Structure 1
Amino acid sequence: MTDNARTRPFRTERFKAFVDAVVAIAMTLLILPLLEAVSDAASGDLTTAEFFREHSGQLVSFGLSFLLIAMFWMGHHSQYRDVEWITVPLLWINVAWMATIVWLPVPTAMLGQLDSDALQAVVYIGTLIMTQVTTLAGWLYLRRHPELTTAPPAVLRAGVVGDLAAIILFAIALVIAVFTAPNGYLALFILLLNGPLSRLLNRVMLRREGGSDAEAPPVG
C-alpha cells in the first residue's frame, strides 16, 4: 500500500458504524455491576426493596453514566452528520474520544461501589472532561478542514462554542465535587447552564471574528 493510499481521506460509513458499536458496548457494560449485585442479593436472601435500598448508589451511577454516554453519542452523531470524508488525524481524534467512552464504565463502577472521595471525583468527572476535549478537537479540526464537511462555518463555530462551554462547566463541577465530597456529584447539575454560557461565548466569538448574530444558528 502506498503512502498516498494510507493518508488520503475515506468515506464515513464504516467509521460511523464502528463508533455506534463502541458506544453500544460501553452502554451495555454499565449494567454488568448491577447484574452481579442482583446475584449477590439473591445469595444473601435480600428482598427487592432491600436490594434497591442497598444498591441505590449503583443505580444512580448507572443512570447518570447511561444518560451522559447517550448525550455524548447524540452530540457525536450531530457533529459528524454532515462530515463526508475522514482523514487519519480526524480518525485518531475519534479513537481518543472512543477511549474515554469505553473507560467511563470503570469510574461509574467506582462511583456506585466505593466510598466517595476527592480522587474518585477527579477520575469520574475528569473522564467526562476528556470526552468533551476530544469532541472539541474534532470541531477545531473540521474548522481547519471545511472541505471534509458540508456543514456551514456557523455550525462549526457553534460546535466549538458548545464544547468550550461544557468543558468550563465540567471543570467547575470538578472543583465543587472535590471540595464537597461525598455529595459533590450534585455539582453536575451546573451543566444546565450550558445553554446560557454557550450563547455568551458565541457572542464573544462573533465579535472577535467580526461576524453577525444573524449568521449563527441557535447555540445550546
Structure 2
Amino acid sequence: MVLSFRQESDETDRLLALSDGVIAIAITLLVLEITVPDIPVGSQISVLPDLILEQWHEFFGFVLSFLVIASYWVNHRRVFVHIVKHDRGVVWLNLLFLLMVAFVPFASSVFATYPGQLGIMFLSGTLALTGFTLALLWSYASWKQLVEEGLASRAVKIQAARYLASPFVFLLAIIVAAFDPSFGILTWLLLIPINAALQSRLAANLEEDGV
C-alpha cells in the first residue's frame, strides 16, 4: 500500500536511521586512512616511535575530520529535533549532506598523503561543502515551514548562523592556506570559539522562548 503524503511526511525514523548509519561508517573509515609505518631494512625497532611521530599529519587529519563529522552529526540531530515533518526536498537535501559526509574520509586521506597546501585546501573545501549542505537543509525546512510551531524566527536565524559558521571558517582556511599552509591549519582552530559563542547564544534564546 502506498503511503499517503501525510503519513510519508511524518515518517522520519528511516531517514534518521540512514543518516546515522552513513555518518557512523564515515567516522569508522577515517581511522583506516592511518597507515602503519614500515621500519627500513637494517634499522632497529627503536626507530618506530620517530616514524610514528613523522605521521603527525595523518593523526591530525583523523582527529579534525572525526570532530567535524561528529559536530555535523550533532547539528544534524538538532535539525531533526525541530523538523516535525518533511517533504521530498528535505529527503534529497539530506541525501546530498550524506553524500558529502561519505566523501570526507577520502579528503582526509588526501590531506594525510599531501599535508601541504593541496591537502589543506582539499580537506577544507570538502568540509566546507559538507557544512553548506547541512545549512541548506535547515534553511529549506524553515522556509517550507516544516519546523515545529513556536520556534522564533530569531532562533531560526541563530541556528542557520551556527550551521554556516564552520563552512565559512573552512573557506577562510582555503584562502589563508593559499598564502601560508601553516596558518591555514591554524585557522581551523577558530571553529572552537565561534561555535561555542553561537551555541551559547542559541541556548539562551531557546530558553527565553521556552522551546
- Residues 102 and 151 of structure 1: CA distance in aligned 2, closer, same or farther (over 3 Å): farther
- Report the CA distance between 1:49 and its aligned residue: 1.0
Cα distance in 2 for residues equivalent to 1:58 and 1:85: 40
- Report the CA distance between 1:194 and its aligned residue: 1.6
Gaps of 5+ in 2: none
Q: Map of 1:1-220 to 2, 5 A cutoff?
A: 9-34=9-34, 37-38=35-36, 40-41=37-38, 46-47=45-46, 48-117=48-117, 119-150=118-149, 152-153=151-152, 154-182=154-182, 184-195=184-195, 198=198, 216-217=205-206
Cα distance in 2 for residues equivalent to 1:31 and 1:79: 27
Cα distance in 2 for residues equivalent to 1:135 and 1:161: 11
Aligned partner of residue 85 in structure 2, secondary structure: coil
Indicate the percent of aligned positions where both proteins have the same amino acid.
22
- Report the CA distance between 1:148 and its aligned residue: 4.6
Q: Across the two proteins, how many residue pairs are aligned to each other?
A: 201
Give me the TM-score of the superposition, normalised by structure 2: 0.80
Q: Which amino acid aligns with 1:98?
A: L
Cα distance in 2 for residues equivalent to 1:111 and 1:80: 31
Q: Which amino acid aligns with 2:33?
A: P
- Residues 158 and 182 of structure 1: CA distance in aligned 2, closer, same or farther (over 3 Å): closer
CA contact (8 A) 1:165 1:197 kept: no
- Residues 164 and 61 of structure 1: CA distance in aligned 2, closer, same or farther (over 3 Å): closer
- Report the CA distance between 1:33 and its aligned residue: 2.2
- Residues 33 and 170 of structure 1: CA distance in aligned 2, closer, same or farther (over 3 Å): closer
Cα distance in 1 for residues equivalent to 2:155 and 2:181: 38
CA contact (8 A) 2:83 2:146 kept: no
Cα distance in 2 for residues equivalent to 1:60 and 1:151: 42
Cα distance in 1 for residues equivalent to 2:198 and 2:115: 34
Q: Which amino acid aligns with 1:100?
A: M
Give me the TM-score of the superposition, normalised by structure 1: 0.77
Gaps of 5+ in 1: 203-212
Moved more, 155-164 or 45-54: 45-54
- Report the CA distance between 1:191 and its aligned residue: 2.0
- Report the CA distance between 1:151 and its aligned residue: 6.5
- Report the CA distance between 1:142 and its aligned residue: 1.8
Q: Which amino acid aligns with 1:216?
A: N
Cα distance in 2 for residues equivalent to 1:196 and 1:2: 44
- Residues 134 and 151 of structure 1: CA distance in aligned 2, closer, same or farther (over 3 Å): farther
Q: Which amino acid aligns with 1:152?
A: L
